[in-house]
Amino acid sequence: MILFTKLLLAHLIGDFLLQPKKWVKDKEKKKAASKYLYLHVLLHFAVTMILLWDFSFWKIALFILISHYLIDLSKLYANSLFKNESIPFFVDQVLHIIVLYCCAYFDNLWEHTSSLFKQLDWTLVTAIVFVSFPAAIIMGKLLEPMSEKLEMDHKSLPNAGKYIGIIERLFVLLFIILDHWEAIGLLITAKSVFRFNDLKESNSRKLTEYILIGTLISFGIAIITGVIYISL
């Protein structure tokens, strides 16, 4: 575990702390011709070797250097294929972490991966998945008849309400599992404070009732899910 932790730390330092925006922009513009691409992967090699502090790991560091170069280069040429720039970024990061994991456990990769899956709390995984997008879809169906009666005269970010609901339900589930029910009250209070100005400016009783019903349903789903998980 300590080997993977050190490799991950080296990746975080090299990719986020020691990579100026100037380098990123130059790589995006010049791609394989950018000198900063090669400086970047060499820096990763150096940071990895420093953190490992054992020359016998040079093969691992070299493999990470080569794979990092190939992944970053692929990302630079794939960026133009995606409208959402965050997609190639996250794919890039996932691939890097997979490489680090394989390097850390290369001698018993299959056994270690199998043991991780066996140790997973599948009930918890199911609860987390349920309070995210499935719960959002359920809420959408429940609130659809009400939303059609509202007149929205203000603009908001696309799907902002859905993602806020998902995040708040994940927090509620976490607080229940940790047995901190009082934190749920603080979360409700914080949401009420942020919503106060919108409700005050709109001066709409329908909107107030809609938000209140939606909030209670959202928290209710998360609470029921948390209680069921604990009981199981």
Kindly report, residue by residue over 2-45, the tens digit of the pLDDT: 999 999 999 999 999 999 999 999 999 999 999 999 999 999 99
> Is the C-alpha dihedral spanning 214, 215, 221, 224 positive or negative?
negative
Contact by Cβ (8 Å): 64, 44: yes
CB proximity list for 168: less than 8 A, separation 6 or greater = 187, 191, 218, 219, 222
- Is residue 84 located within the same domain as residue 6? yes
The pair of three-digit structure tokens given for residue 65, joined into one six-digit string: 């250097």
Q: Where are the alpha helices (DSSP H) in 13-57?
A: 21-30, 35-52
Long-range contacts (CB closer than 8 Å, 24 or more residues apart) made by 126-130: 127/173, 127/225, 127/226, 127/228, 127/229, 128/170, 128/173, 130/225
- Is residue 14 located within the same domain as residue 101? yes
Q: Note the pLDDT tens digit of each residue in 45-104.
A: 999 999 999 999 999 999 999 999 999 999 999 998 888 888 999 999 999 999 999 999
* Prediction pTM value: 0.81
- Is residue 108 located within the same domain as residue 175? no
Listed residues 118, 140, 163: the one ending a domain: 118
Q: What is the pLDDT of residue 152?
A: 60
- In angstroms, rounded to a whole number, what is the distance separating the alpha carbons of residues 156 and 217? 21
Q: Where are the alpha helices (DSSP H) in 79-204?
A: 86-104, 109-119, 122-131, 133-147, 160-177, 181-202
- Is residue 113 located within the same domain as residue 166? no
- Is residue 76 located within the same domain as residue 136? no
- Is residue 132 located within the same domain as residue 161? yes
Listed residues 118, 140, 157: the one ending a domain: 118
User: Domain limits at 200?
Assistant: 122-231
- Is residue 90 located within the same domain as residue 153? no
**Count of domains observed in the chain:** 2
Q: Note the pLDDT tens digit of each residue in 151-208.
A: 665 566 678 788 989 999 999 999 999 999 999 988 888 877 766 566 555 556 676 7
- Is residue 114 located within the same domain as residue 18? yes
Listed residues 92, 118, 144: the one ending a domain: 118
- In angstroms, rounded to a whole number, what is the distance separating the alpha carbons of residues 195 and 59? 55
